[in-house]
Every structure is written in C-alpha cells, then in structure tokens.
Structure 1
Amino acid sequence: MAPGRGPRLGAPPGRLLALAALPAALFAAAAVTTAVRHGAPLAFERAALHWSTAHHGEPLRSLAGALTATGTGAVPYLMALLAGLLAGRGTPGRIRAAACALLVLAAGQAVRGGLMELLARPRPPRADWAGYASGYSFPSGHATTAALAAGILAWGVLRRTRPGAGRFRCALLALWAVGVGLTRVCLSVHWAGDVLAGWLLAAALLPLALLLDPLAIPRRPVPAGPPPRA
C-alpha cells in the first residue's frame, strides 16, 4: 500500500454520533456524581490514593514523573501536527490536515478546561503529592490531553500505514495514553475518577472530531469538459 493511501476512515455521521454517545453519557454521570458529592472522593478513589501514597519510592516516582511530563506542554501538539502530516496528501492536504488536528486538540483542551472550572473539584491533599499539579482536579487534564493526542495521531497513522502495522502502532499510542493517566494517580495529584473521566471525555470527543475528517482530503479536480467546437 502506497504512503498516503491507508485504510479509509470515513464513517456516516450517525455512526460517529453513536460512538460518542456512550462515553459522553458515562462522563455526564461521573460529572453529576462529582457535583452532587461536592467533590468528595468515592471509596475506590480513597483506596487508590492510599495505594499511591504507599508507593512513592524510587524508581517508580521518577518513572512516573518522566512519563507524566509527556502528557502536557508541547508533546501533544507535536503529535497532532505529526498526525496532520501523515494524513494529508500533498502540501495543501497536509496543511489542512495539520490545522484540523491542532484545532481538534485545542478545542478539546478548551472543553476540558471549562468543565474543570465549572465543577471545581479539589485535588487530593497536597501533603500526599509526589509531583507538580495546578488548578482543579476533574477531569484530569493530562489524561484527557494524552488520550486526545493519541487518538488524533492514530487517525494519522491509520491513513498512512498498512492496516496491520497501523493497529500495532495505535495500540502503542493507547498504552502511552493509559500510562500518562495512571501516573496522575501514582503521583497522588488526581483522584482515580478524574483520570477515568478524562479518558471518557476524550473518547466522546474523538468520534465527533472525525466529522472533520474530510478536511484532510484534497478535493478531486473537476474533469475537464469536451473541447469547444471550432
């Protein structure tokens, strides 16, 4: 399969909306639960925090700190840019695809930030932290951003590579996103529910983002008509 002619990812809008419905409903349920409880942790969240605070030794702390750093800052945006370069065909197509991918990531960040401010869930006690964090807790910014970036790059990879190789690389991206989210719990800067909510939010937004997928495909030239008669 030639580069730039990967598997077709087009799907009817109704199917994409259906794919987004379940994670969106689960995220809404988590958000309502968090709001009703005024941010108080659930039993499994307290258990996860207790486990993490008991395992802050080395090398786990340093490994978690290094991995968590890749889930924020420039790395996710570079991944989105790479996705666009992989997905587009020709310079105009790559520019459109890159702009689309960066827009999706930035929009997801805006949605996540707005929800975080709206729900204003406190983080775990600062005395338990083993890493840096700022702002409110729900949903996890690192978990949301990493999952979005991984999904966007998977879109680019699947457009460029053979199906078998593409699936393997997408699995690696998924493992990275999961790992970034888990580090937030390991470092005790997020409740476990914040991370789950971040994954659900990304899972709801990514199918909706695929509605913009045609922007990455250059328009086919209109066939020229028959030459005018002399």
Structure 2
Amino acid sequence: MDDDLTQALAWAEWLGAHALPVLAAALLLVLIACTALVVGFHRCGARTAWGRWPRPLLLGVCLAVGAGLLIATASLFAEMLEAFDAEEEIGHFDERLTATLARELPRSALRFFGTLTHLGDPWALTLLVTGVGVLLLARRHTSLALGWVVACAGGGLLNRVLKQIFERVRPVHDHGFAQADGYSFPSGHSSGSVVVYGMLAYLCLRLLPPRWHLSGVLLTATLAFTTGWSRVILQVHWASDVIAGFAFGVAWLTLCIAAIELARRYARA
C-alpha cells in the first residue's frame, strides 16, 4: 500500500469518526461565504452593475462563465470515472469513510438525517417547484417562472442522464433509516437541492425586500448543504457522489441564473 493511499485512508477514518463536528464546521464556512455574497450584492448594487455592461460583453461573460463551469465539472467527472475504473484512492477513500460512518455514528444522528434527507426527495422538490411556479405566474413574473421551471427540471433530467452514463453502484445501507435504489453517481439529492434551493435564493434576492435577503439565502444554503451531505451520513451515497452532485449543481445553477439575467437585460433594452 503506497503512502498516498495510506494517508487517504487515514483521513477517511478521521472524518468518519468526527463526521458531525466536521459537517457543522463546514456548514458554518458555507454560511459565512453566503453572508459575504449577500453583503457584496447589496453594496455593489447588482442591478446597476449589470445594466452598465454593453450587450455583447455581457453575453460573452455569461457564456464564458457558464461554459467554463460546465467544462470544469465535466473534467472532474472524467477524472473520477478513471479513478473508479482503476480503483484508486478515491474509491478506497469512499469505502473506508462509509464503513467508518456505519461503525461510529449514533442511531439518533441517523434518525435525524433520515428525516432531513426527505427535503431533497424528488417528490418534495417537485411540489416546491410546482408551488413556487404557480405563485410566480399568479404574481405575473412570467419570465422568472419559466426560468425557475427550466432550471429545476433541466437539472433533474441532466442528473438522470449522468447516472446512466456512470452506472456506479451505491454503498450497502441496511440500518433502516433510509432506502435508495438506482445508480449512485452523481447524487441527485445533492445536485437537485443545490439547483432548487439555489434558485429559491436567487428569487429571494430578486423579489423580496432587502431585509429578507440574508435570512433567505442562509436558510436555502443550509437546506441544500445539509440535504446533500445527509446522503453520506446515511450511507446511501459515496462522498464523491455528493461532491460531484454539488459541483454539477453549482455549475448548472450559475449557467441558469446567468441566462435568466441576460434575458432580463435584453427584455428591458
């Protein structure tokens, strides 16, 4: 066993033994980053900043950012696919982490995350997407309603396609607090939560008074982050499945928001 693999397994053991405090610390960092983004959004004045850009430059930046993120995500997936085939560190890390979680986590934690994870179930996200879409149409935000539905539904469909491409088998999970079938990579709960709750945060910034912006973004970020990682805690996904789901979700979310903003600017011109 080489040194890199030994170190990876040691990290997996440590993370599995300290999963809950590590998860709490990671969530805190995410919330700090989101707070900084909201403060920057308010200080920079996103509406005027976007409005001063010439159309061709704005189009180029939106396409470059979206394409760059998607290419980076595709490269990440390709590297992971090679690692799966070669049974390199990433696969051994996933297996050791999952085994450690199964051994170390208390049943109370599994019960809590077994309830929390339903916030990322397809039926729950579908109900949320439908309800928000109807509300947007009722308020005559037609373009936002269209963007909301396309972003959320498109992310879900693309995730299904990726699962069929990779055909990765899930870890064994027999604790009874969660059940999942189908292929594992990338995690649909992770990507779906990032896209749906991320789009909800975007709508919050666009439609709600400024005093609700920070609380809305922090709430949606918490839901997306904890729902995604609940799949690892419950051992129904490998850690790399969730990381890949987050990466895909962020790339797709960024592309969709850029496209919606671009369409809005053209419509006003």
Normalization by structure 1: what TM-score?
0.78
Which region of structure 1 is more displaced relative to structure 2, 71-80 or 96-105? 71-80
The structure with higher relative contact order (CA 8 Å, sep 6+) is 1
Aligned sequence identity (%): 26
Name the counterpart of 2:241: 194
Q: Which protein has the larger Cα radius of gyration, Structure 1 or Structure 2?
A: 1
**Once the 2 structures are TM-superposed, how far is the Cα of residue 123 of structure 1 from its aligned partner?**
1.1
Name the counterpart of 1:71: 120
What is the rounded CA distance, in whole Å, between the counterparts of 1:39 and 1:87 in structure 2?
48
Cα gap change, 1:59 to 1:144, in 2 (>3 Å): same
Ranges in structure 1 where 5+ consecutive residues have no aligned partner:
1-5, 221-230
Name the counterpart of 1:226: none
The answer on whether the counterparts of 1:97 and 1:215 sit within 8 Å (CA) in structure 2 is no
What is the rounded CA distance, in whole Å, between the counterparts of 1:79 and 1:158 in structure 2?
18
Alignment of 1:96-135 (within 5 A): 96-127=143-174, 130-135=177-182
Q: What amino acid is the match of 1:49? A: T
Normalization by structure 2: what TM-score?
0.67
SS at match of 1:104: helix
Name the counterpart of 2:98: 49
Q: Which structure is higher in helix share?
A: 2
Cα gap change, 1:86 to 1:55, in 2 (>3 Å): farther
1:15 aligns with 2:64: no
Residue-pair matches, total: 214
Q: 1:170 aligns with which of 217, 232, 235?
A: 217
**Once the 2 structures are TM-superposed, how far is the Cα of residue 150 of structure 1 from its aligned partner?**
1.1
SS at match of 1:121: coil
Which region of structure 1 is more displaced relative to structure 2, 127-136 or 198-207? 127-136
Superposed CA RMSD in Å reads 3.2
Ranges in structure 2 where 5+ consecutive residues have no aligned partner:
1-44
**Once the 2 structures are TM-superposed, how far is the Cα of residue 119 of structure 1 from its aligned partner?**
0.9
Name the counterpart of 1:32: 78
Which region of structure 1 is more displaced relative to structure 2, 74-83 or 158-167? 74-83
